[in-house]
Structure 1
Amino acid sequence: MACPPWPKGKKLVHLDLKGAPPRMEYLYKLMELFSQLGVDGLLVEYEDMFPYEGELKLLQATTQPPYSREEILSMQKFAKSKGIEVIPLVQTFGHMEFVLKHRPMWSLREVPYCVGTLNPHKEEGVRLVMEMLRQVVKLHPGLNMLHIGADEVYILGEGEESKLWLASPGRTVEQLFLSHVTKVAKAIKEAWPHMTIIMWDDMMRGMNHDVLKGSGLVGLVQPMLWDYNPNLDVEKTVSLLEKYCSAGMSDLWVASSFKGSTSVYNCVPSTQRQVDNHLQWLKVAASLSAGVILHGIALTGWQKYDHLSVLCELMPVALPSLVACLHTLKYGHFNAEAQNKVTETLGISSVEVEAMERTSAGETLFPGRRLAELIVELNSLLNSDDIRLFENDMFVRGWFSPYHRQRKMVTPLITMQIHSQASTFLTTLQQKVDALRGEMVRLYPDSTAQEWIEEHVSPVVAPLQRITEDIRACVKEMVP
């Protein structure tokens, strides 16, 4: 059953730069595609790719240089020329790993073992957050919308100062959360009275109507309710949005996902899974009462679950999914006709990246297609049983077990066959990896290619290399 298309309101694409930050030329190509697909804005999570200055300079990335001030300004200029608004997302409470991992900032953690959560009792913490915001706002001339994060504030209330604060009667962790966010939001409004403030909603989901109403956040912030589940519970989500609305927060946003929400180390997304998430969001939008003002939807594309986790799917492999999700919102369904539009736009035969044969020789509108193809090829090779389970092979287990290796007593003929098979796999993998690296460094920093290969390839290659080395050592003992 088709839903009405996505109602009015902005369609934002989330650009998560806490891993695999694209080179500027690639970012321009992506924005070109986004503008042709009717995207209104970019929700940009710079994290350590922002060129922080002064006392905050230590927040800058060291694995690759952060974007320069000139790059960030010219990116906005280019976006504007394509009708795309740039909205920065700066975390101000939870997920501050990229800040609190630095030794000079350790004292600002809520508890020593949680790198993500800021201690809400220290004035210095608020000062730090405001300085981050000040530098970001300054480098976004004419900015009038800001996302302050505030999702997944883990372990809040567990710190010594929090326990002391909570010991007073009537105080709750909910109030502790609200008081910090309110403090930050008020400071933003004081510095930039015209600024619209968006925040993630998850820490407020369990709060009752009266707590929200009396929180001081009403009229200050616009919650963005995120849910990336393909089986998103429509009824529950609608009632949650209605609850925010009846508490006085009628200006609302929602967030779906086109990549980076399946598993923390996923390498290739499933388009259908992400489309299903958007179909559920269409049902939500169609069921809301007139009082709810839906300002838009952010299609999130997480690059890392947090600053210290591994890379998820890179942007090129996720473009079929993104285009499919945008078409789903535009038409209110994802039938054969919508699928054809996606494959035509990108010059591929299938909306599933694992099955996309190219249908046109040119670049079409698929920036990074060659890299997407190489990732898919290499991924299927890395996941093949022949390679992944090589040590379980009958010959390896039968004639080259740990017992044999230790005693260096082997059947040379069979072990040489094993060696030859392992070497063939290694050569094939190496060729694919070289091609992939060459393509990846055109779109991403060298450090990203290195990270991707160490994450996905090295663990699979290591056992094969070990076997070939061990066999060489054993055969030397057995053959004149």
Structure 2
Amino acid sequence: MHRIVHFDLKGAPLQVQYFEKVLLAAKAWGATGVLLEWEDTFPYTAALADIGSVRGSSGDGMYSMEEVRHLLRFIKDNGLEPIQLVQTIGHLEFVLKHPAYHSLRELPRSPAVLCPSKPEALQLVKMMLEQVLDVQLDAAFVHIGADEVWHTAICPECQSRAANSVHSTASLYLEHIRELALFLKQKRPELTVLMWDDMLRTVKCETINAYQLGELVQPVVWQYNALEYFQIDPYLWESYRQIFPKVWAGSAFKGANGSCQILSPVSRYVSNQEAWRLEIKKYGHSTHFVGVILTGWSRFDHYATLCELLPVALPSLASCLRAWTKSDDTPLESAVSEVLPSSQWPGEELARSVHSFVILRDRCFAFVHGDLVKTWLNPWQIENGYTNPVQVEGLAASAQQ
């Protein structure tokens, strides 16, 4: 099985030299490939120059075309499978935030979702895919995203199309995906097209089959919960078995424990890997799992604050990859490590500094909002100079600890 590590570069692109160290570490820990989610860090050119790194949309000039080519070559030369991800309908804030593309929004006040009824919209994402694939002539895979399409059949054109289709609202999404997959297959017949599966889960088998998606794409079924909360409806596997010859698992090593978390709890993420191992063991006899993509989200969308920084999450990544390479009779606890040896931890100093910050932040919060301050140094007492001096001395001593 493939073990693909996902790098979400939106909002936190990695310097190339640092990225190389992380890639080599991931390979040593058991990764077999890399999924690069560029968003606006890709150097789109010509008519698309405004949405990528060429015009500074990422704010730091990363990446140049030379750097992109170098990274793809570096990944391949080190025995990893490079896969590029381009969002093609949802999570397109980095494109639809620009005034030139406002008219392509499904919901005018939201830059998240592309309207699939506008010909210019389909042409836009085809151009994006074309430019990304042009820098990877030997690509075996491409990922078209297609998850969390929050707004559907809102614009008048989409409503009309949905009303006149035997497959109703689902037809809008499925036709868009089919057109993109056909475009990619015509351009590169041997290319395997991946997509997140969440928008397919509630669609009937016969509807998906009507759009021939089983012949065109391989879905990545994502579920990020720890073992005790992990649940996938068995009916989903039964349905997908009738449609897709091959499927992928989607787990997480960071960025799935809250939208603004600072630390990556290793045990929690390793538990998610174990849940997936058990799921594949249970259904692998009838469902062909090609591999697992270990996602590492940097932020929930283009406007969100960052989740855990990558150096902080590397012990989690190492542990999660170990969970996939350990034998079945090896205890799960053996895969869990909150720290890494210095030689295996790119960015260790930053990671340890973040951990120290969290400890100090929590200690300060506990002090400021604790009983001592509320009891002997509340706003009324400060305003009136009315409190016990001995207790204030104790508070001062506590504050210095």
Q: TM-score scaled to structure 1, two decimals?
A: 0.75
Match in the other structure for 2:192: 196
**SS state of the match for residue 193, structure 2?**
strand
Could you say what the CA RMSD is over the residues aligned between the two structures, in angstroms? 2.7
SS at match of 1:165: helix
Aligned equivalents of 2:203, 2:46: Cα separation in 1: 39
The question of 1:36 aligning with 2:15 is answered: no
- 1:334/1:46 CA distance change after superposition, 3 Å: farther
Distance 1:325 1:107, change over 3 A: same
The aligned counterpart of 2:139 is 143
Q: Identity of aligned pairs, percent?
A: 32
| CA displacement at 1:231 relative to structure 2 | 3.4
CA distance in 2, matches of 1:210, 1:171: 10
Listed one character per residue, the Cα deviations across residues 439-459 of structure 1 (whole Å, up to 9, x for unaligned) are: xxxxxxxxxxxxxxxxxxxxx
Deviation at 1:331, TM superposition (A): 1.4
Give the distance between the partners of 1:398 and 1:31, measured in 2 at CA. 53
Aligned residues: 391
C-alpha contact (below 8 Å) 1:316/1:372 kept by paired residues: yes
Q: Does the alignment pair 1:107 with 2:103?
A: yes
- Which residue among 163, 167, 170 is the counterpart of 2:163? 167
Shift in CA distance, 189/341, structure 1 to aligned 2, threshold 3 Å: closer
Distance 1:373 1:335, change over 3 A: farther
Superposition map of 1:206-225 within 5 A: 206-225=202-221
Alignment-derived partner of residue 39 in structure 2: 47
Equivalent position amino acid for 2:114 in 1: L
- Please list the CA deviations of residues 1-34 of structure 1 after superposition, one character each: whole Å capped at 9, or x if unmatched: xxxxxxxx21000000012111111101101111
Q: Does 1:57 align with 2:56?
A: no
What's the offset of the Cα at 1:164? 2.0
Residue 275 (structure 1) aligned with residue 270 (structure 2): yes
What is the match of residue 18 of structure 2? 26
Pairs within 5 Å for 1:468-479: none
Change (3 A) 1:125 1:292: same
Which has the higher Rg, Structure 1 or Structure 2? 1
Matched residue, 2:237:
241
Return 5+ residue gaps in structure 1 as ranges: 1-8, 343-350, 429-480
**CA contact 1:234–1:284 (8 Å) conserved in 2:** no
Task: Give how far 1:396 is off.
Answer: 4.1
**Which residue in 1 is equivalent to 2:153?**
157
Match of 1:375 in 2: 354
Q: Distance in 2 between matches of 1:236 and 1:29?
A: 35
CA distance in 1, matches of 2:356, 2:78: 34
Residue in 1 aligned with 2:80? 84
Alignment check: 8 A CA contact 2:223 2:230 kept: no
Superimposed CA distance per residue, residues 64-83 of structure 1 (whole angstroms, 9 cap, x where no aligned partner): 11211111111122212210
Tell me by how many angstroms 1:382 deviates: 1.2
Superposed, 1:9-24 pairs within 5 Å as 9-24=1-16
Match of residue 120, structure 1, among 116, 121, 139: 116
- What one-letter code is carried by the residue in structure 1 that aligns with 2:349? R
Task: Check if 1:255 corresponds to 2:256.
Answer: no
Quick one: distance in 2 between partners of 1:199 and 1:242? 19
1:160-193 Cα shifts (integer Å, max 9, x gaps): 2212222326341111110111111111112222
Deviation at 1:133, TM superposition (A): 0.7
Give secondary structure in 2 for the equivalent of 1:225. strand
Task: For structure 2, list consecutive stretches of 5 or more residues without a partner in the other structure.
Answer: none
Letter in 1 for 2:64: S
Question: 2:378 aligns to what?
Answer: 397
Match of residue 330 from structure 1: 325
Alignment of 1:286-435 (within 5 A): 286-332=281-327, 351-352=337-338, 356=339, 363-384=342-363, 385-386=365-366, 389=369, 393-398=374-379, 404=383
Q: Aligned residue for 1:266?
A: 261
Offset at residue 386 of structure 1 (A): 4.1
Cα pair 2:376 2:388 within 8 Å, conserved: no
| CA 15–191 in structure 1, closer or farther in 2 if over 3 Å, else same | same
Whole-Å separation in 2 of the counterparts to 1:232 and 1:181: 34
Q: Is the 8 A contact 2:226 2:269 kept in 1?
A: yes
Give the Å deviation of 1:239: 3.7
* In 2, Cα distance between equivalents of 1:258 and 1:84: 19
Counterpart Cα distance in 2 of 1:389 and 1:62: 38
SS at match of 1:219: helix
